[in-house]
Amino acid sequence: MILVIDVGNTNITCGVYKGKTLETTFRITSNNQRTSDEYGVLLTELLSKAEIETSQIDGVIVASVVPNIMHSLLGGIRRYIYEEILIVKSGVKTGIRVGGKNPASTGADRIVDAVAAYELYGGPVLVIDFGTATTYDLVTEDGCFNAGVIAPGIRISAKALWEGTAKLPDIEIKKPDTILAQDTITGMQAGLVFGQIGQAEYIIQRIKKESGYDNLKVVATGGLGRIISEETDMIHEYNSALTLEGLRIIYEKNTK
C-alpha cells in the first residue's frame, strides 16, 4: 500500500492506495504549530481507524504548497510510518512537460492535478481545482502544461466579505434556490456561488478561444468543485480524488 499526501493551504488530504484502488481518504488541517510527533501520532491513528497498520505502508509520496510545515510533517512520517518519502519537486518524473516562462514556480499541486487529468482523460484538457485558490490549468494534446489562471477561491472570497465588512456574517457556502435573493445571507450565497459559476464559464470560453482547442475536455476537482460543476455543462467531469490519483500516478512512474 502507498500513502499519498497533498499538503494544501487549508487541509492536508491523505489517501491510501492498494494498487490502483483508493482504500481510504482522510483530512487534517494544515497546522504549522504541530510537532513531528503530533503529525506522526495523528496520521497513525487515522490509518488505524481505517484498519490499516503502518507496517502495511510500503511507500509514501507528498506534494506540498506549504513549506513551513514540511519539516515537522516529514519528520513525523519518517519516525512513525515509513522512512523513504518521494516528494513532488523538480527532477521527479511526471509524464508531462511544464512550460511557461518560469516552470519552477508552478505549484506542486497544480502539476499533480495536470498529470492526473492528462493520464485519465487525455489532452487537450483543462483541469479546474476549486480549492483555497481556484486554478485553471491547460495541458495540451501532446502533454505540455503551458498555461494557467489563478483566481481567489470561494472561501477566500467569502472570508473577505465577512472580515472586510462590519455587518456581513460568516455563512455556509451553498447554492441558494434562486439568484433573486431577498435577504443578506442568501444574497451572499448567490453572489459567491453564481459568481464562481460565471467566472468559470467565462474563463473556459476564453481559454478555448485563445488556445484554439474547441474539443477541450474540462475536468473539475476540489472541495467545492461539485457545487460548481453541477451547475454548468461547460465542465464535463468532476473527480474529487483527482489530486490523489495524480500522486499515485507520479509515484508509479518513479518507482517502476
Say yes or no: 74 and 46 in one domain: yes
Indicate the pLDDT class of residue 32, thresholds 50, 70 and 90: confident
Say yes or no: 82 and 139 in one domain: no
Q: CA-CA distance, 147 to 211, in Å (whole number)?
A: 10
pTM for the full model?
Answer: 0.90
Say yes or no: 65 and 106 in one domain: no
Indicate the pLDDT class of residue 39, thresholds 50, 70 and 90: very high
- Residue 253: inside a domain: no
The 144-152 sheet, strands edge to edge: 97-98, 144-152, 133-139, 125-130, 217-221, 237-238
Say yes or no: 193 and 80 in one domain: no
Report whether 145 contacts 125 (CB < 8 A): no
Say yes or no: 103 and 39 in one domain: no
Cα 113 to Cα 24, 116, 145, 148, 194, distances in angstroms: 19, 5, 11, 12, 24
Cell of 16: 491510501
Domain that holds residue 172: 97-247
| More confident site: 183 or 101 | 183
pLDDT at 234: 96
Indicate the pLDDT class of residue 34, thresholds 50, 70 and 90: very high
Report whether 84 contacts 123 (CB < 8 A): no
**Which one, of 40, 34, 32, lies nearest residue 9 by Cα?**
32
Q: CA-CA distance, 59 to 111, in Å (whole number)?
A: 20
Say yes or no: 208 and 110 in one domain: yes
Q: CA-CA distance, 174 to 112, in Å (whole number)?
A: 27
Indicate the pLDDT class of residue 244, thresholds 50, 70 and 90: very high
Domain count, the chain: 2
> The cell 497546522 sits on which residue?
31
Report whether 189 contacts 108 (CB < 8 A): no
Q: What is the pLDDT of residues 122-173, one digit of tens each?
A: 989 999 999 888 999 999 999 999 889 999 998 889 889 888 887 788 888 8
Beta strand ranges found along the chain (DSSP E): 2-7, 11-18, 21-29, 60-64, 85-87, 97-98, 125-130, 133-139, 144-152, 217-221, 237-238
Query: Residues 81-95: what's their mean pLDDT?
Result: 93
137 among known catalytic residues: no
- Residue ending a domain, choose from 45, 61, 87: 87
pLDDT at 31: 79
Report whether 88 contacts 250 (CB < 8 A): yes
The yes-or-no verdict on residue 41 having pLDDT over 80 is yes
Q: What is the pLDDT of residues 219-237, one digit of tens each?
A: 999 888 999 999 999 999 9
| Set 109, 113, 129, 137: catalytic member | 109
Say yes or no: 125 and 243 in one domain: yes
pLDDT at 159: 87
pLDDT at 104: 75
The CATH number given to whatever domain includes residue 14 is: 3.30.420.40
- Residue 231: inside a domain: yes
Q: What is the pLDDT of residues 99-128, one digit of tens each?
A: 877 777 788 999 999 999 999 999 899 999
3-state secondary structure of 220: strand
DSSP symbols for 80-122: HT-S-EEE-STT---SSEE-SS-GGGS-HHHHHHHHHHHHHH-
Query: Residues 187-195: what's their mean pLDDT?
Result: 93
pLDDT at 166: 74
3-12, 36-45, 98-107, 152-161, range with the lowest pLDDT: 98-107
Say yes or no: 238 and 113 in one domain: yes
Say yes or no: 128 and 241 in one domain: yes
Chain-centre distance of CA 245, in angstroms? Answer: 11
Contacts for 146-150 with beta carbons within 8 Å, 24 or more apart? 146/99, 146/100, 147/99, 147/100, 147/207, 147/211, 148/100, 148/106, 148/110, 149/203, 149/207
Say yes or no: 83 and 105 in one domain: no
**b/e for 9-27, b at 16 or more Cβ within 10 A?**
eebbbbbbbeeeeeebebe
Q: What rounded mean pLDDT belongs to the chain? A: 93
Say yes or no: 175 and 111 in one domain: yes
